[in-house]
Amino acid sequence: MRKNLSPKELLIMGGGLFSMHFGAICLLYPVTWGNDAGSAVWSAYLGIFLSGIVLPFLGYVAMVKGRGNFLDIARRASPVFGLFFVAATILVLGPFFVVPRVTAALWAAVLQLTGWRPVGKTAILLFNGAFYAVIYVFVASSGKVVERIGRILFPVLMAIVVSVIVQSIVAPLSPSWVKPSFDENPVVHGFLAGYAAGDLQCALLYGLVVVRGIHDAGIAGEDVNRNLIKIGVIGLGLLALVHLGHMIAGANIGGTIRLNLAALYVQMVVELWGPAGGRVFLVALATASLTATIGITSSTAGIWEKILGGRASYRQICAASCVISGLVSSTGIDAIVTVVGPVLDACYPGAIVITFFYCFCRHNNSRRNLFALKCAMIAAAVMGGAALLNVYAGLFHLDLPRFASFYAALPLSASSLAWIPASIAAYAVAWLGAAHRSGEVNVDGLEIE
């Protein structure tokens, strides 16, 4: 039995992991981050590095130290609540928000660049059918997902991204960086921006599909975990460099383009390369959309297969996920982001609590510590739910004066971080109050299967 992946295999799988994390969202966001940050780009990048790179890496470390995938380590604290939390998270990351949002963004870019204005839903349904048919081809064999992305899509994505970054540095659209468009501390601004990208939750999902790829290469036991960390370092290291390059590209716009996200990126590459820039962008966005969608679809299907206990096969779940994602995507990106997007933010605190527990708690199988983790997860979920209700109150014009006053009084609620003191307090109280709990929880196996 092999102990280590070869350098070539590590590069291919690390490239595949980078591509899954990069996706359509991380293709579009960093240029806007850099354009907004301007002369404060380095400080803003530090914040983004902490929340968009370090946090996801800790997600992989947590699965290694917790000896299990996302579902395993969540259910170890609470079988019922852990299952509910993971199911809610993968539904939002999968067919009900992130995946269809990616497809909807790609369709919107196609319409923007071609000027086509189709009538009715037939065109978008056909587009989604073709897109998700390609997705299914990639995800049908779970052990080959990361390798296929690394071999086929990663080179295309990197070639375009590096070309854009280099061209933006060689021929910047503005000779100087402008002042930041925001007033808050740039490190804090960057941290919250990277936090909103949701890469930690993706890391907790991708661990499963990456480990299956490592198994498929003939590696087992504790050696799987060591190779997972190596792949994480390569993939997230590449992501950190590309984020920095794109943010510098955005800063080099110098405030000359007053747009955001896809519209900003399109206009930037058009001004850098002329009309051909739009076609380059479309290829990059299509490739990034594929990588993110493939990674999430395969990962969520793998977890659902475990939740359902064999009542549906991995391939059946992948097919159902593709169909649901295509139908949800046809509603349009604005509706998806507005209505479902805040639910993903509400799931994020619990994922961070789980990650930090398994990364930094020395005795993470202690019954006392796991009870405290359960209480902290519930507190994080409650605060996430409160933040969600606060968003929906404004979105749907709900008159909730008492709740609004209560939420505004919570520490850090202005930054949607009220879950931090609440989770710390819940963990401390539970740990102190559970001194009678002792012993270890048995953990079967050492691999993230």
Going from the C-alpha of 107 to that of each of 52, 63, 187, 279, 392, the distances in angstroms are 26, 35, 33, 14, 27
Question: Rounded to an integer, what distance in angstroms lies between the CA atom of residue 55 and that of residue 48?
Answer: 10
Tell me the domains of the chain and their CATH numbers: 7-329 (1.20.1740.10)
Sign of CA dihedral 122, 128, 131, 136: negative
Structure tokens at 348: 């994020």
Q: What is the pLDDT along the chain (449 residues), one digit of tens a residue?
A: 678 889 999 999 999 889 888 876 777 789 999 999 999 999 999 999 998 999 999 999 998 888 888 899 999 988 999 999 999 988 888 888 888 888 888 888 888 777 788 888 889 899 999 999 999 998 888 778 888 888 888 898 899 889 999 999 999 998 889 999 888 889 989 988 887 777 888 888 888 888 888 888 888 878 888 899 999 999 999 999 999 999 999 999 988 888 877 778 888 888 888 888 878 888 888 888 888 899 889 988 989 998 988 899 999 999 999 999 998 888 866 666 777 778 878 888 999 999 999 999 888 888 889 999 999 999 999 999 998 898 888 888 888 888 989 989 999 888 778 899 999 999 999 998 876 666 666 555 444 44
pTM equals 0.88
Rounded Cα gap, residues 218 and 4, in angstroms: 9
Question: What is the number of residues in the chain?
Answer: 449
> What is the C-alpha separation between 241 and 45, in angstroms, rounded?
11
d(CA 440, CA 366): 5
Residue in 217, 291, 243, 380 with CA at minimum distance from that of residue 17: 291
Q: What's the rounded Cα separation, in Å, for the pair 155 and 64?
A: 28
Structure-token pair, residue 42:
């380095």
